[in-house]
Structure 1
Amino acid sequence: MPQIALITGGSAGIGQAAAFAAAERGFGVIFTYYRHQAEARETVQKIEAAGGGAAELYLDVADTNSFAQFYGSVEQILRDKWKTSKLHALVNNAGIGGGAAFEDVTEESFDQFHQVLFRGPYFLTQRLLPLLADGGAIVNTGSNSALVSGVEAGYSSYASQKAGLHLLTRYWAKELAPRQIRVNAVAPGSTRTRIVDDIFTRMPEVIPPVVETVPFGRLGEPEDIGKVIVFLIDDASAWVTGQVIEASGGQGL
């Protein structure tokens, strides 16, 4: 019987790459989507065509009132598709991005970052804890913008929520240790995703200045981060907990 991983925000970008990598490692995968249902279905089809097992579910991570119903849907999929009642791993990856000068940040935009990047993952994880098996794993997708290596003007609102998620990772690791649940975070650097309305496709001119800050001389790809996430949910990292792992190609060195 496969171990099952639940990945939020898995229809594209880092979450999708993590879903593919997890399936290749033998995990069954449940992942969520928000706007891109067709891409979610296509992701399931690709995983199943490669011999894996996957299912997609709609989730608005900012809508905490929907979490009880979401819990029931996850419980049903586990039972019907994999004949199990437990998740092995939860990956809090769904997110939004964007920047604004401190003096231009609005309460509305700040609250949106808070709801999606911090409040949502906090209460979703709390709600799903009964489904998470003892000895399982939680991975939070943070950001190197919340680390010294990634500080740039214009991201105080976004990065402060990611910093909170990094700190929360350590607290959860402490509190869930009696259940042998490992909790870690991955902190990506600049990665080619659809974040900020697919900025790297819309505005390719922003890429060269970013690449100049990366010793490896390129943007990160979703697959670069997905592999780290899967390492952190796999038993290969069974002695790792409470850590924030930067995956940025050395950005800022």
Structure 2
Amino acid sequence: MSTQNKIALITGGSRGLGKNSAIALAKKGIDVVLTYNTNKEEADKVVSEIESLGRKAFALQLNTSDTKNFDDFINKVTAHLKEKTGSPNFDFLINNAGIGLYQPFEDVTEEQMDEIYNIHYKGVFFLTQKALPFLNTGGGIVNISSGLTRITMPGSSVYGSLKAAVETLTRYLAKELGPRKIRVNVVAPGAIETDFGGGRVKDNKELNAQIAGFTALGRVGLPDDIGGVVAFLCSDESYWINGQKIEVSGGQAL
């Protein structure tokens, strides 16, 4: 990773939206550090694809629900960057890693709540906090939320509520990090055909058709619809966008 290239750290970069975003960042000329939870092989494939685009990439394991390992993770990231670039710093943090939960409100267990909270809110909060000392002035943070903070679908009460908390956190971060010229925004995908949530939208044809039916552009989203928006928010063209939520859904439930 050369000193002049900007660098992004993206969690959950081995598949789905994270993979697509990592590749879109590389196409924008940004080097990438990506994390994976269990699938090193897939992460390594993403690294190879980014390198084939002429950018540098590096993959590290991280369970974003396990905050006690964040110090060690940040130490590994910054040591790698210092060795490769002479500086431990990077420019962008994309909080993307996550899992789904589809459960009627009355059936949600405390364990399920804790798992989703730890990954989608607590993990985002404290990983961002640990990364902040190494985030360059003038850089940016992109938090991945969900169209389910605006569109209510039964079974997503926990997931949608915690993503709404991330959207509120994003505005606070934008305000508090303003003096460092660090922009903080949200990308909220609509329903997307990925393996997320057990491939629910991708594999359930009835659900897929239902969502396509209330989407203005007439289909369900694809990973390629999302990554370019994340990359755009890490570019100079988007400098004046701050504290905002961009829903990327093709016009769902308008």
Q: Quick one: which amino acid aligns to residue 244 of structure 2?
A: Q
1:200 shift after superposition: 3.5
TM-score by length of 1: 0.97
Q: Is the 8 A contact 2:194 2:223 kept in 1?
A: yes
1:84 shift after superposition: 2.7
What is the match of residue 210 of structure 1? 211
TM-score by length of 2: 0.96
What is the match of residue 227 of structure 1? 228
Q: Quick one: which amino acid aligns to residue 6 of structure 1?
A: L
Looking at structure 1, the residues matched to 171 and 235 of structure 2 have their Cα atoms a distance apart, in angstroms, of 19
1:52 shift after superposition: 1.4
1:39 shift after superposition: 0.4
Alignment of 1:8-157 (within 5 A): 8-147=11-150, 150-157=151-158
Secondary structure in structure 1 of the residue aligned to 2:226 = helix
1:201 shift after superposition: 4.3
Q: Is the 8 A contact 2:187 2:230 kept in 1?
A: yes
Q: Is the 8 A contact 2:101 2:158 kept in 1?
A: no
Q: Does 1:182 align with 2:183?
A: yes
Q: Quick one: which amino acid aligns to residue 65 of structure 1?
A: K
Q: Is the 8 A contact 2:202 2:208 kept in 1?
A: no
5+ residue gaps, structure 2: none
Looking at structure 1, the residues matched to 144 and 53 of structure 2 have their Cα atoms a distance apart, in angstroms, of 26
Q: Is the 8 A contact 2:212 2:219 kept in 1?
A: yes
Secondary structure in structure 1 of the residue aligned to 2:8 = strand
What is the match of residue 199 of structure 1? 200
1:223 shift after superposition: 1.6
Looking at structure 1, the residues matched to 87 and 195 of structure 2 have their Cα atoms a distance apart, in angstroms, of 34
Q: Quick one: which amino acid aligns to residue 96 of structure 1?
A: I
Deviations 1:39-91 (A, max 9, x none): 00011011112211111010000000000000111101211233332111000
Looking at structure 1, the residues matched to 53 and 226 of structure 2 have their Cα atoms a distance apart, in angstroms, of 21
1:117 shift after superposition: 0.3
Q: Is the 8 A contact 2:142 2:185 kept in 1?
A: yes
Looking at structure 2, the residues matched to 249 and 85 of structure 1 have their Cα atoms a distance apart, in angstroms, of 38
Looking at structure 2, the residues matched to 51 and 139 of structure 1 have their Cα atoms a distance apart, in angstroms, of 24
Equivalenced residues, count:
251
Provide the alpha-carbon RMSD of the alignment: 1.0
5+ residue gaps, structure 1: none
Q: Percent identity between the aligned chains?
A: 44
